[in-house]
Amino acid sequence: MGTMSRRSFSAEDILEMMSTNCGARYYKKDYDNPKYQNPDMCAKCGGKCCKRCGCFFSPDDFSVLNFEALVNEIEKGYITIELIDLDQFYMEGFAWVMRMRNKNGPIVERRMIRPNSECIMLTERGCAFGYEHRPTGGRLLIPCEHGECESDYSTEKAIREWLNYQRLLRQLVEHFESALNTAG
């Protein structure tokens, strides 16, 4: 009986796969780190980040990632599937990601420009979600004094995680666009 050879991957191989990739998942997310929570500073700022655009979901934010479960979530009215040109991240092609919908925003956003409008969940008292229920992009923001805060869950990390789910996201896009066309 022949023996199957198994390829072993070095750290360099893995780094190369992640940079060329195909999709990465499970970036370490240290949600409990106190650097991510400063309600006083965010109240003073009034949510500048949330006024620019809804934050990114990670696939980790959904307990079930299949077509039916995501149709149900999207129909609740707070999610946009957005198309991003990968050129700006030194990759080829385009990718779909999921983020919070902006006020009056579409379910499917194909324009590939940052919309620069307010997240649907932003209220006068800040985010309508408690910290632990926010999308990863909102949870991993590091508040800073002048409102130029960076998220440890960058656009690039969101893209790389969602690269594993492009087929599923395309099915969702087709579903919602054909529903819109039928209604129109």
* Chain residues in the site for ligand SF4 (CB under 6 A): 41-42, 45, 47-50, 54-55, 100, 119, 121-122, 127, 129, 134-135, 138, 141, 143, 147, 149
**Minimum CB distance to ligand SF4, residue 103 (Å):** 10
128 Cβ partners below 8 Å, 6+ apart?
Answer: 121, 122
User: Cα angle vertex 164, ends 178, 60, to 5°?
Assistant: 95
Task: Name the residue nearer to ligand SF4 (CB basis): 91 or 99.
Answer: 99
The residues pairing with 95 across neighbouring beta strands, listed in sequence order, are 84
Task: Name the residue nearer to ligand SF4 (CB basis): 91 or 102.
Answer: 102
Task: Name the residue nearer to ligand SF4 (CB basis): 84 or 91.
Answer: 84
Contact 59, 164 (CB under 8 A): yes
Task: Name the residue nearer to ligand SF4 (CB basis): 91 or 140.
Answer: 140
Record the tokens describing residue 104, joined without a space: 């009056």
**Minimum CB distance to ligand SF4, residue 141 (Å):** 4
User: Cα angle vertex 164, ends 76, 83, to 5°?
Assistant: 60
**Minimum CB distance to ligand SF4, residue 177 (Å):** 24
**Minimum CB distance to ligand SF4, residue 129 (Å):** 5
Residue closest to 161 by CA, chosen among 46, 84, 106? 84
